[in-house]
Structure 1
């Protein structure tokens, strides 16, 4: 049924007569009468008591009008929401992020962003920095929160946003008061050597002259933490918000005094202009990361 027929009925009920409704709708009175007749035929109902002058709604008509009003209002809301969507289509932010930030700093930053932009859609890709870099380059994602690269490649730009501390983790039953004690106590479980964090860790170990007994290489934070919890070794990991929920049986010590940190930032293609949404995310993330604290 054409919703315009129901709109005519509601207008007759609100204005009190066919003539007043016709004037309000810009229709002839005969057109209004035809609309009402079509509804009555369609639903086999007498909407008006035509013995009265002017015709008045019947008992069934009063019930029908309220149902019709709901339909008219709902249809109007649908039209308005669709018109708004055409004027202001929802923005989708396609972003990559390193695992240590997913459930913590980034989640809080996105929550702040969504509070200001409830219509914002987010497509999130978690991965190591070296895996996210080509996705940015190919335009699969708009930007990525990564560790600082040793060298920013041509075609990219990297903007620092905050720092993330590194910690030594080991089984809780391993004795030792310093990070060096912990690293010497068990075999070393390292990040895959091509991971950007691994290069920073290896550089610091070499600078301090700490020799470790490398036992295995793992490419995930969860995997390293799980192996350490089972007593299979020790490691150095970024201490982001997500990595603070370490398994039972794992202890932490700061890596270095003062603790070594890695820079985090926004990796983008230098061939594209940063969107207002990415700019807002950068701002929110810097606020959240400033509130991060070191382990005790």
Structure 2
């Protein structure tokens, strides 16, 4: 198979998976005419139309659907062949552009970076910290290879793997929430001096949705986005916030602030790894070899309040 034939097949698969030449061109980082030309070359070579073109995009033909099954298998086997070659040449360093949420940065990132430097993983990791929506967009357009993110919506260009579910906690000074580490009822949040992120914010929207369900009025006294500034309000000004345990991990562990899991109802979300589907198979393999044992270890330890991902939520994420 020539390089041009392989390019034609890759472009065809991208159009089939995205539903348009424009979206495929964006995903492949090439021009739309280049995608259209390569697909036309493939159709001419096969002697069959693979797509029906119309003003709204494209529809794959029965012949195209049959060819897609074989094309995806072939591309997957090529990736697996490249992965198999790694055992013969030894692990060559791989560069990875990784998106992380603030919670990941404060819990397992240092362990991950240490693991990445080991000879059996051999990954050079460049990190970009941000909120989930920003990171998901960066992965989908190819600015990042992959990212940790909360509850991502399914997208054609993303492969999503749920990792764990975490319940959010009320975090604040013991003078306000007490020293008792037992769970606290959601209704007890009424009237507390809260500092929350301004809208639009996914975590804020989750909290307010639970408040509407339970007819509990949640009125933040202060709206702040910066985590460092929130921390100052918690430690020095007797405010509280609703956050994952890991976001203020060191302050909770050294006793500067207290933490109580919110229940009835819980406010939960699932951490996932979102991968760009163009990420090389060898990089995917090393990434999961690095991440999955680490996540499983902390789920077992219970030190970050992580648990196995909810089956119902997992089904929604990977649908």
Q: Is the 8 A contact 1:205 1:211 kept in 2?
A: yes
- Unpaired runs of 5+ residues, structure 1, are 1-85
Counterpart of 1:243 (choices 237, 248, 257) is: 248
**How many residues end up aligned between the 2 structures?**
208
Contact 2:116–2:122 (CA under 8 A) maintained in structure 1? no
Matched residues in 1 for 2:201 and 2:100: separation?
Answer: 14
**Equivalences for 1:80-119 in 2 at 5 Å?**
90-117=93-120, 119=122
Cα distance change on mapping 1:144 and 1:173 into 2, 3 Å: same
Distance 1:99 1:144 in 2: 12
- CA-atom RMSD, angstroms? 3.0
Bigger radius of gyration, 1 or 2? 1
**Aligned counterparts of 1:169 and 1:283: Cα–Cα separation in 2:** 33
Conserved? CA contact 2:186–2:264, under 8 Å: no
The change in CA–CA distance for 1:87 and 1:283 in structure 2 (over 3 A counts) is closer
Checking the alignment, whether the CA contact within 8 Å between 1:161 and 1:282 is kept in structure 2 is no
What corresponds to 2:137 in structure 1? Answer: 134
- Listed as ranges, the gaps of 5+ residues in structure 2 are 1-88, 306-319
Q: Structure 2 length normalisation: TM-score?
A: 0.56
1:194/1:175 CA distance change after superposition, 3 Å: closer
> How far apart are the structure 2 equivalents of 1:118 and 1:276?
10
1: CA distance, partners of 2:282 / 2:304: 34
Secondary structure of 2:144 counterpart: coil
Q: How does 1:151-166 map to 2 (within 5 A)?
A: 151-166=153-168
CA distance in 1, matches of 2:91, 2:280: 19
- Mean Cα deviation higher: 111-120 or 123-132: 111-120
* Separation in 1, partners of 2:304, 2:137: 33
Deviation of residue 96 (structure 1)?
0.6
Distance 1:206 1:279 in 2: 43
Secondary structure of 1:214's partner?
A: coil
Q: TM-score, normalised by structure 1?
A: 0.60
